[in-house]
Structure formats: structure tokens, C-alpha cells
A and B are shown apart, each in its own frame.
Chain A
Amino acid sequence: MFLASRNFCCRGIRSCQLRTGLLSRSIKHSTSATMPFRHKNTRRIEGLDSNVWVEFTKVAADPSIVNLGQGLPDISPPSYVKEELAKVAAVDRLNQYTRGFGHPSLVKALSQVYEKVCGRKIDPLTDILVTVGAYGSLFSTIQALIEEGDEVIIIEPFYDCYEPMVKMAGAKPVFIPLRCKNDGNSASSADWVLDPAELASKFNSKTKAIILNTPHNPIGKVFTREELQVIADLCIKHDTLCISDEVYEWLVYKGNKHIKIAMLPGMWERTVTIGSAGKTYSVTGWKLGWSIGPEYLIKHLQVVHQNTLYTCPTPLQEALAQAFWTDYRRMDDPDCYFYSLSRELESKRDRMAQLLKEAGLKPVIPDGGYFMIVDVSTLNVDLSDVDEKQPYDYKFVKWMIASKKLSAIPLSAFCGPETKKQFEKYIRFCFIKKDSTLDAAEVILKNWNKQTG
């Protein structure tokens, strides 16, 4: 039965479709009933199908819900960035393929910006790979350099994709938690630290890499030079790679400085540093990121890239390059977007923290990034009657969405199996939101105690 030879000139196309629909369904049923289907997923993706975002973005998609969950700015990107994209739409050749490893003007701009930041020469053609978001950089790095038999140290809580990506590469994630040093009374992200002895115990001859995320999602911790030195010393001692996810590198608040671990002695040659246009310019939907490192590492990421998607979209790369040139020229100027965005977000951070405290919650004030974690145990919301076998924070967030119309993300989504109990009293709010969104959140939080929800 060849159903595709039908063309559109048949009248009563509706009845055509209905007939063929029924026919195709009956064919589908008859053939699938006779043959058992042996084609299941490959081993590499076994157990990797569920995902916190798929679950929670669906739940929060209701427009009546104030969405402080997914890390999605609802503020506008700066106008010059939008204008650059509008300009490129008119240029014909920018609608065709560009250089696979990164559009020439973009890698040049990135090399200039980062040479200035790092104080070292960065070759745009060999030391940089442009990827589909920082997500794509993480994937390319892990696929290029990690394999079965390797162990990869992941600091908890962690951006959730690290664990499945390490597993998909056939390697074993080894977790180490950040621990609150004030006996659980945490006012600041700086209170969350690694125990150096505990960290050292996680390194062995199988350790291929450690994944570092600074500024940190979800806690907002900005690792200090001393903390980075502890990690660096272990990397050098054990000849380990460092995969440094620095997507929030520009979002550091007063009194803090973002330090690149790759700049510590002995670290450039073993570090791949990852950045993101989405986070730098509030354009998460452009999905452009980059990996920067020594040629002998980056070349393997390039091999992965040429065998996975080959090249990233041209017009977006060109527009991003132009945006970078604009800010490169004013990197010594406080008006540079890299600094002005962080000032804008600092006041949102402070406002968010204030609102949460007034509602009786205990926020952990982040030193960087645009997330804030909150201890909700102080509210003593009893969810023991909720039947699901999910951690407390999952149940809490679902309850909060349903009864308070406010969404967040449960922190245990960012933990390995052993630590879920430690973090299940925390939820994560995103505060890169426009004033009206924060106003709506304020209304909910102010009325929180008035309801017996």
C-alpha cells in the first residue's frame, strides 16, 4: 500500500486524509502486532531519558504562574545586540555555511576579549571552538576527552546535565558536595565550601577530569583564588583535566572577583574553559557558546564537533561577533554590558532576597550568577500526605506552583543520589526577571502567610 503517491489535487482532501489515516493506522497495527520490536535505546543513553526541565517547564508553562524556575531571562537583551541580528538578516552570504569550528569574525572577537581578560595569547583558529550553547561545549569536551574507565569529579549541587553527559561518555561520576560551614545556617553562597581532605580523597589514577562551575549554578558561589588553588594543586598532582564552566563569568557582585582557573600556574594546559553568549548577552535562545583552551585539547573537541553538527548558525555568530566588538572597545568603561548587567542584577538579587526573608524563608545570598537558593524548611509545610516517592523539594515546588502560582526548581535535581537528602530542603529561584515579574512574585510572597495553603 503506497500512501504517499497521493497528491493534493484530490477533492475532498479531508475525506482522503481520514481514509488514509484509518488505513495507515490499521497497517501500523497489523505489522507491529506480528513482529516484536527489538529496537530499543543504545546502552549509552540507558537511564538518561528523564530530565528535570522537561518535567518542570511543562508544569510552569501556564501563563498565570509566576515563573522563577528555569534560568530564562524575561528582560530584553540590550538593543544594540538585537540590532546587530537585524542587520545581518539583510546580508545574503550570512545565510550560508560558515567555518565549521567558528565563524571567523566571532572567533577573532572572542580571542581579543579573552586575551585581554587572561593576559595571554589565544589563537582564534586553534584555541577556540564555537558550539551550540555552553551545553554543546560541555558535550563536545566530554565526548572528546572522557571515556569508559574514566572517573569525573562533579561538585554538588551541579548543573544537572554534567551527570548524564559523563554517563553517556561511559565514565563514572564521582560526587563531592559543597558543605555549609555554619552548621546549616547559611546567609551567603560563600558559606558553602569544599572540604579539602574530602576533595583530595576523590582523586585517584582513574580520575580523568573535574568539572568546575564558577560562578556556581545553583548556589551562586564564586570560588576564591585559594579555593581554586586547592583544586588546581590536585589537578596537577594527579595530571587531571579541568572542565571549567564559566558561563556566569561576568555576573559577579560587589566584593567578588571571577578568577579563571586556567590562569593559575600549570592549569592552562589542562583546562577547557567554557563560555556562553546566552548568559553574557541575555540571549539564551541564540544557543551559542565556546570552549577555549590549548590547541592539543581543543583539536579533539573540534573532531567531535565536525562529527556531530559541523557548524553553528552563521547569522547569529556574526551578530554576536559585532556585539563583542562593541563591548571589547569599552572593556575599560563601566558602561560595558559585561559590567552593567551585573549591576542591574545585583539590585534584583537584593530585592529578591528581601522579599523571601519577609515571607519567612531563608535565602542564601549568591555572590554571582542569577540564581538564589532558599531553605524552605522554616515554613514547615507538611507534605507527608503527598503520595509520590519524590524528594521533599520536588513535592514542595509542585505544591507551591499549584497553591501559590509561583514556580522554582527543586535543588535535589542538582544532586547525585547520595546527597539528595542533604539538599531536599532547598529550592532555586531565578532572578533575571523584569520588574513586573518580580512585582508579581512580591504579591505572592507578601500574601504567603495570609493563606493557610
Chain B
Amino acid sequence: MLRRAGQSLCHFLLEKNSGAGRSWCSREAKMSRPVQARRLEGIDKNIWVEFVKLAATYSKVNLGQGFPDFPAPEFLTEAFSRALGGGNHMLHQYTRAFGHPPLVKVLAQFFEKLLGRDLDPMTNVMVTVGAYQALFCCFQALVDEGDEVIIIEPFFDCYEPMVKMAGGTPVFVPLRPNPPKDGKLMSSADWQLDPAELASKFSERTKAIVLNSPNNPLGKVFSREELGLIAGLCVKHDVLCISDEVYEWLVYDGKQHIRIASLQGMWERTVIIGSAGKTFSATGWKVGWVVGPDRLLKHLRTVHQNSVYHCATIAQEAVAQGFQRELMLYGKPESYFVQLPKELQQKRDWLVRSLDGVGMKPIIPEGTYFLVADISQFKSDVPDVPNSDEPYDHRFAKWMVKNKGLAAIPLSAFYSEAHKNSYTNFIRFCFAKEEATLKAANDILQKWKQEKTSS
């Protein structure tokens, strides 16, 4: 709050020469009344602002923020170029607000097959500015002041501030690690919800639960039984499900991504969220979508038409063509949805060996392109500071990027404020990276290990 009680406005005017010619550099006073809206309270901090800056400044190898450093597939960038070269300059103008017709049509066709139900491209699909904006529309459309929203920890960090901005109350339930007794490396499957604990979080104020499968940051792919558990509670308590499935194609070891909306009683209460950025390795295009019943999507449309209204046309055109190709190649070896997870699985395994080889204990992810590793054996390099405000893994990750040039994200970034100290010995790595990047990461880790053993 910027209340400044009854001061007169003072203007300090300094003449200053600058590249823009003569300019006035003035320290003008601010407005004296408080300016920002209360809905922004407690949501101004953001892990990415800090860590992206650190990575940009210090990192030699960036396994932090989740984006590929390999190129988007050629068929996609070619589709973009073709659209531009095609001479239809109307692709530079507004398209249909709720989604470019070719894109919503092909999304409907695709998801019809995946969900086994008829979909109307005009009412069951909406395009958004990335999955991020899809999440925003869900919370704004469906969460009112006083509503509770269940969030499974660890979670993609934006869920909490978005729920708060909508006036809702986040209610957290943790995935708990059950390490295998044989001393093998943990899998993301070993992190599980306690059914009784989950059930206890549902109250008459519960409006929705946010599900993210495959899960960022752990890489967990929820099993049919686990989804059945969540679905049962949603139906019992008449609760909505916001299902963030952006990593739907990135599942490994022959596992299957199951869509909770296909479970009994769930279609009518679920909004499915997807992302072209993750599907086609083009995060910078910011094309996402929601799929769901009209009676929920109509409210998302209202939010959308009163916030951004249209999404960029040309990116939607290219993504539509990308999906057309995938529709034709579905299930075939040349399908990008087959090739990408295959490539990423190899990279995953590479990074797992790399980390295991130096004493960081990776939790093997079943999906996504993230991997969380236990860094307890490296604690000596970054001593504990008792009574520190900052969780240990935060300080470790910062030290690591500054001193070793390797960027990663502390796991506590994915926990609520109250639970930031639950698991402070883990950091998250992104492995959607070129071989050279992963090799460079390995070199840094090997050198580090040698320094530790020799000291």
C-alpha cells in the first residue's frame, strides 16, 4: 500500500542529456491514495522472476525453467512459414475470439477420439493464450470468494496465486513419498496421496480440485486407481475438476496417460487444459486450449471475452496444421507424439545416470520433462542456516547456479507458503535439452563430485 498522508507534491526537475535528446528526469511524486487492488495481496512474488534472472546472469547450463533448448519440429515451423507465405494477409487480422475455426475443429476431432464422445468445436473447445491463461479463465469463471480449491502438493506454482486472486482459499494435500524398501531409486509413482487425508480435505465449501497429470515437478503419472479415487470424491461432493494435462504426450516406460474426464461422472464436471507449447515444443507460441462441457466452458468464454478476447491468429493456424498432421499419423512411428516421448525418455535416463553417478538421488519421473533429485549428500557445500527465512533448497539452487553455473529450481518453489519447509533437500531439473547441454551438465556435476571427494 502506498498511502502517503497529506503531503504536497514536490517535483524535482533535473535536466539531463540522453540518447533521446533533451529529456526531463524528474522524480515526480506518486498518487497519495493507495493504488493497487486488494486482489493482488500476497500474489506479487514469483519464483520465475528471480530464478530466470539468476539463470540469465550466471548459468552456463540451464536446466531450470521448463522449455526445450532443441528446436520445435520442422513440420510446425514450416506450417508457420507456409501460412505467412500463402498470401492470405487476413491471417494477420482477428480470427474467431473463442478459437480459430481450423484449430478448434481439429482439436475437437482429436479429443473426440481420445475421450470417446462427440465434441462440438464451437462449444466444447476454447483456445487460450497458453495453458496459463486457460487456468486463469477456469479460476475466474468458477471460483468465488469463500470457495475452497484443493491443490495437490507439489504443484505448478501459479495455481495458488490464481486461486487467491479469484478470492478462493487454497486447501493443500501432499503427495507423500513411500521409498521402495530395496534401496532402489525412487520413482514418481512412489509419491502418493493418502486416501483418507484426501477425503478429509473435501468440505461443503470445496468448489474444485486441481489435478495435474503428468505432474510438474515430480513427473508423476496418476494411475487409473488414483484417478478413480479423486473422481469418486468429486462426484460424491459435487466438486469440479480442473485437469491440467499439458504434458499428456510425455509419458515413459509404456505408461498410459489417462484422462480423468473419461471416468464415470467426470465429463460434466471437468475442464481439461492442454498446451501447444508442450505438445509441439514451442512454448513461445503461447497457444493453449480447454476442452469440456458447454455449461462450464460458457463461463470461461465470458472471462475470455472480457480479458483478452482474441488469441494471435497465425500461431493458431500453424498449430492447427500441426494437429492435422498428427491426426493422420496417430499411433504411427512417425507421429511426433510417439517420437518426442521416445527421445525424452532417453534424455531422462541419461540425466538419471548422470545425477546418480555423483550422489544426487533422482526420483525417476514417469512423465513430463522434469526430474526431481535429492541433494542431501551435497549439503556440506551450502551449510544450513538455522532460522533462515529461505528454505535450504532455495539457497542451494542459488549457490549452485552462481558457483557451478548449473541452473535448477528448488522444490520448495512448488509448495505453499505454509509447507515450504516440508521437503527442502530436492531440486528440479528440466531435461528437454540437447545432448550437448546434458553432457555439459554432466561435466559440471562430475567436476563437482571430484572437488568434494578430494577436499
Contacts and interface: CB of A to CB of B under 8 A. Distances in A.
A135 interface: yes
B20 A112 contact: yes
Contact of A85 (B84, B94, B141): B84
Contacts of A20: 116-117
A59 interface: no
Interface in B272-316: 281-286, 295-296, 298-299, 301-303, 305-315
A303 interface: yes
B136 A4 contact: no
Contact of B310 (A164, A285, A307): A285
Interface stretch (B85-93, B178-186, B389-397): B85-93
Given A96-B282, A309-B286, A2 B262 contact: yes
A309 B129 contact: yes
Contact of B33 (A119, A239, A284, A297): A239
Contacts of B203: none
Interface stretch (A71-79, A250-258, A414-422): A71-79
A97 B286 CA distance: 8
Given A4-B259, A85-B314, A119-B24, A241 B286 contact: no
A44 B168 CA distance: 13
A89 B77 contact: yes
A70 interface: yes
Interface stretch (A27-35, A173-181, A335-343): A27-35
Contacts of B235: 31
Interface string A283-323: 11111100000101100100110111111111110000000
Q: Taking each of A86, A135, A308, which has the highest tally of chain B beta carbons within 10 Å of its own beta carbon?
A: A308
A86 B306 contact: no
A185 interface: no
- Size bracket of the A interface: 35 or more
B95 interface: yes
Contact of B114 (A4, A40, A146): A4
Interface residues of B, number: 114
Interface in B59-114: 65, 67-69, 71-72, 77, 80-81, 84-85, 89-97, 112-114
Contacts of A11: none
Contacts of A132: 129, 308, 311-312
A85 B130 CA distance: 20
Contact of B264 (A7, A27, A306): A27
Q: Taking each of B35, B136, B142, B262, which has the highest tally of chain A beta carbons within 10 Å of its own beta carbon?
A: B35
A199 B269 CA distance: 48
Nearest to B308: A132
A311 B286 contact: yes
Contacts of A164: 306
B133 interface: yes
Interface string A135-156: 1100100011111000000000
B67 A3 contact: no
Contacts of B286: 309, 311-313
B9 interface: yes
Given A168-B306, A241-B31, A308-B132, 6 more contacts: A39-B238, A39-B296, A49-B299, A98-B284, A132-B308, A308-B133
29 contacts: A2-B258, A3-B116, A4-B114, A8-B331, A17-B113, A20-B116, A41-B141, A54-B97, A76-B92, A85-B314, A95-B285, A97-B65, A119-B23, A135-B309, A136-B307, A147-B38, A165-B307, A239-B31, A284-B92, A285-B93, A286-B312, A286-B314, A296-B2, A307-B165, A308-B132, A309-B136, A310-B130, A310-B132, A313-B284
